[in-house]
Amino acid sequence: MLPSWQVDENAVLLTTIDEQGNDRNSSPFNPTQSLYGIHNVIDINKFSRYKTLLRVTAYVKRFINRCKSRHRSMRKCPSKLEPLNVLELQDASRMWLHSCQSTYYEAEITNLKSNEKRLTLVKQLRLFLDEDGYIRCGGRIHNAPLTELTKFPYLLPNKHPLTRLIVLDAHETQLHAGTSALITHLRQIYWIPALRQYVQSLLRTCTQCRKVTGRPYAAPDPPPLPKMRVQDAPPFTVTGVDFTGALYVRNRNDAEKKAYICLFTCASTRAVQLEVVPDLSEESFIQAFRRFTCRNSLPRILVSDNATTFNAAANSIQLLLRSVTIQDTFHSQGTEWRFIPKRAPWFDGWWERMI
C-alpha cells in the first residue's frame, strides 16, 4: 500500500509538469503565483554555481512529479538515474527567474497588473508583463533586427543571489571575458540595473582573472647607499674584489690556455684595476694583490663575496678566502677583509656590474 502524503497548508506550492510537458496544477499557467516560493524549497545561498542550482532544482522537481504521479508504473525508481534533458533545465531556470522577480519586484508586479504605471522603475524601463508573467523591459529598439529576448530583456535585480550566479556563470562560459564583453553578453537576455559596477565588483573576486591581470609585487625602493660607498677618501680605500669567469688566451707556444681576471674596484670613485691571473689559486691571487697594491695605495677595507655561487671559479674563491695565510697577510698590512652576507647577491652588485 502506498503511503498517503500529509497535506501541510503552509507548504510551498510547486507547479509540476507531467511527462508530456503539460502543467497539471494550474491552468492557465500563472508562474508569478504558482511558482512563488521556490527559494523556500531550495536555499540559493548554498550554491556557488548556476548550473548546479539548475540541476538540483530539476531533480527536485522530477522527484515531486514522480511522487504525484497517479500511474503506478511511473512511481518505480529507475535502475539508473536518467540524465536531465534540456526542457527540465530550462524549466528550472524559468522557476528561479519567476521566483526572483516575484519576490524582489512585488510592488512593480502589482503596479503593472493594476495598469497604473506610477512607479519610477516601471516608467523608467517601460516594464511590462509578458504572456508568461515575466517582467520585461520595453526600451526603444522594437524595430531593430534582433531577437525578442534582446529587444525586451528580463529584468533582474543586481542584489539577488540568482543574479550573482548568472553573472558568474556567464563569465565562466565566456572564458573569463572582461567587463564590456560580459555586459554585452548578459544584456542579450537580462537587464540588470547598474550592471557595469556590479560586474566590475564581481570580476575583482575571480581568482583566475586576478592571476592574469594582477600586478606583480612591487619591489621596495632601494635603501640609501652605505657610508663606505659615498665617503670622500683616496681611491681604493674601500675595494671590492672578484674573479671573472674563465677566458681563453694563447701562450708563446700558440697553445690555448685558461686565464682569469682579478678585478679590483673602488667603492666610491668606481676606479677599476684588472689583473690577469693564470688560475684561481691562492698564490696567484696574492701576486695579483701585490701588483695591485704596488700601483695603488693599500686598501683599508677589502670586500668580497662568500663564493657560494655555483661555478667552479666561485668555489675556488671560497677556498682562497678561507685561507689562514691570506688573512694573516692582510691583517699584518692593516687591511680588514669583510665578507658580504651569505646568499645575498645584491650586496656585491657594486663590483659585479664592473665584472
Residues whose CB is less than 8 angstroms from the CB of residue 167 and which lie 6 or more positions away in sequence, other chains included: 182, 186, 192, 198, 199, 202
SS3 assignment, position 315: helix
Report, in Å, the least distance between residue 213 CB and Zn ion.
Answer: 9
- Tell me the one-letter amino acid at 89: L
If the CB atoms of residues 205 and 253 are measured against Zn ion, the closer one turns out to be 205
If the CB atoms of residues 168 and 192 are measured against Zn ion, the closer one turns out to be 168
Give the H or E element holding residue 261: strand 256-266
- 50-68 and 161-173 helices, crossing angle to 10°: 120
**C-alpha–C-alpha distance, residues 34 and 150, integer Å:** 26
Question: Which range touches Zn ion (CB under 5 A), out of 69-77, 207-215, 298-306, 342-350?
Answer: 207-215
| Interface of this chain with Zn ion, residues 157 to 186, rule: CB under 5 A | 176
If the CB atoms of residues 173 and 188 are measured against Zn ion, the closer one turns out to be 173
Report, in Å, the least distance between residue 185 CB and Zn ion.
Answer: 13
Asked if 208 touches Zn ion (CB under 5 A), the answer is yes
Question: Which range touches Zn ion (CB under 5 A), out of 106-114, 205-213, 263-271, 292-300?
Answer: 205-213
**C-alpha–C-alpha distance, residues 144 and 130, integer Å:** 19
Query: What is the number of other CB atoms lying within 10 angstroms of the CB of residue 121?
Result: 15
**C-alpha–C-alpha distance, residues 261 and 275, integer Å:** 5
Q: Which of 129, 181, 209, 314 binds Zn ion (CB under 5 A)?
A: 209
Q: Where are the beta strands (DSSP E) in 63-182?
A: 128-129, 135-136, 154-155
Report, in Å, the least distance between residue 211 CB and Zn ion.
Answer: 9
If the CB atoms of residues 85 and 197 are measured against Zn ion, the closer one turns out to be 197
* Of 310, 311, 293, 294, the residue nearest 302 (C-alpha): 293
Applying CB under 5 A, the site for Zn ion has a residue count of 4
Q: Which of 206, 272, 286, 340 binds Zn ion (CB under 5 A)?
A: 206
Report, in Å, the least distance between residue 180 CB and Zn ion.
Answer: 14
Bridge-based pairing of strands 301-304 and 272-277 is unpaired
Give the H or E element holding residue 73: helix 72-75
Report, in Å, the least distance between residue 176 CB and Zn ion.
Answer: 3
If the CB atoms of residues 208 and 323 are measured against Zn ion, the closer one turns out to be 208
If the CB atoms of residues 172 and 352 are measured against Zn ion, the closer one turns out to be 172
If the CB atoms of residues 179 and 315 are measured against Zn ion, the closer one turns out to be 179
Residues at the contact surface with Zn ion, assessed by CB under 5 A:
176, 206, 208-209
